């Protein structure tokens, strides 16, 4: 690899890491639980504060609530892939919508609630992710790799997919909207399918 290509690759990685770090900063919760309040209590309170909803249903068609899609992209990991409709009747925090959809997200050691490192266990710690420069294993310690990560997308009822400008902890989605977690390797897929 030439020095110019190495510098370009390094600059691209730093730019992507900067974007991920910016998104992580945006997704920090506005309020933290009191020091004496256990995290599980805070999570239960947050879930209870979300609009009431029924159990999610598998959804390939229209959804009156929020349509939640998880697409493992090039990884093709069925354990993560899903499409469900979550019944909500008001703007609801994305993290709460995912809980209602029975989708488990895992952050990193450094950013446990700000970033998504795994969705329903994908990518597994022992999975070799093939990318342009070889293979990689996600350890979920700090920032995910700039070339292999979960991206968060939203889509209004009548509109196009847009890269989320907030993280799961602060992003609110409304009835009729769609929410997608998409795993991207080397920039592909670049956006949700439809």
Q: What are the pLDDT digits (tens) for 108-144?
A: 999 998 899 999 999 999 999 999 999 999 999 999 9
Q: What is the separation of C-alpha 17 from the centre of its chain, rounded to a whole number of angstroms?
A: 16
| CA nearest neighbour of 42 among 180, 181, 169, 174 | 169
Enter the pTM of the model: 0.71
How high is the pLDDT of residue 173? 97
DSSP state, residue 51:
P
- CA dist 91 and 93 (Å) reads 7
CB 132 within 8 A of CB 145: no
Q: In the prediction, which pLDDT does 60 show?
A: 63
For the ranges 20-34, 90-104, 148-162, 167-181, which has the lowest average pLDDT?
20-34
Is residue 109 within 8 Å of 115, Cβ to Cβ? no
Q: Check residue 184 and report its DSSP letter.
A: E
Residue 62's pLDDT band (cuts 50, 70, 90) = confident
Chain-centroid distance of CA 59 in Å reads 19
Separation of first and last alpha carbons in the chain: 37
Which segment, 4-8, 37-41, 130-134, is predicted with the most confidence on average?
130-134
Q: Which positions ≥6 away from 104 have C-beta within 8 Å? A: 119, 120, 121
Q: Where are the beta strands (DSSP E) in 53-189?
A: 57-58, 66-71, 82-86, 92-93, 105-106, 118-119, 129-131, 134-136, 148-155, 162-163, 172-173, 178-185
- Chain centre to alpha carbon of residue 3: 34
**Contact in structure between 85 and 64 (CB atoms under 8 Å):** yes
Res 52: pLDDT: 38
Phi, psi of 86 (to 5 degrees): -105, 125
Give the other-Cβ count within 10 Å of 140's Cβ. Answer: 18
């Amino acid at each position: 690899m030439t020095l110019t290509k190495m510098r370009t690759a390094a600059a691209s990685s730093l730019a992507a890491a900067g974007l991920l770090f910016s998104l992580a900063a945006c997704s920090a919760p506005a309020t933290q639980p009191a020091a004496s309040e256990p995290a599980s209590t805070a999570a239960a309170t947050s879930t209870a504060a979300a609009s009431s909803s029924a159990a999610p249903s598998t959804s390939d068609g229209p959804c009156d609530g929020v349509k939640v899609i998880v697409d493992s992209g090039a990884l093709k990991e069925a354990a993560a892939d899903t499409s469900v409709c979550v019944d909500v009747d008001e703007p609801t925090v994305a993290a709460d919508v995912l809980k209602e959809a029975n989708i488990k997200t895992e952050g990193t050691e450094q950013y446990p609630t700000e970033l998504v490192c795994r969705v329903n266990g994908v990518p597994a710690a022992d999975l070799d992710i093939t990318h342009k420069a070889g293979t990689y294993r996600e350890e979920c310690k700090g920032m995910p790799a700039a070339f292999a990560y979960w991206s968060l997308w939203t889509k209004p009822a009548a509109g196009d997919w847009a890269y989320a400008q907030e993280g799961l902890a602060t992003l609110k989605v409304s009835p009729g909207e769609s929410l997608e977690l998409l795993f991207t390797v080397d920039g592909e897929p670049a956006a949700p399918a439809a």
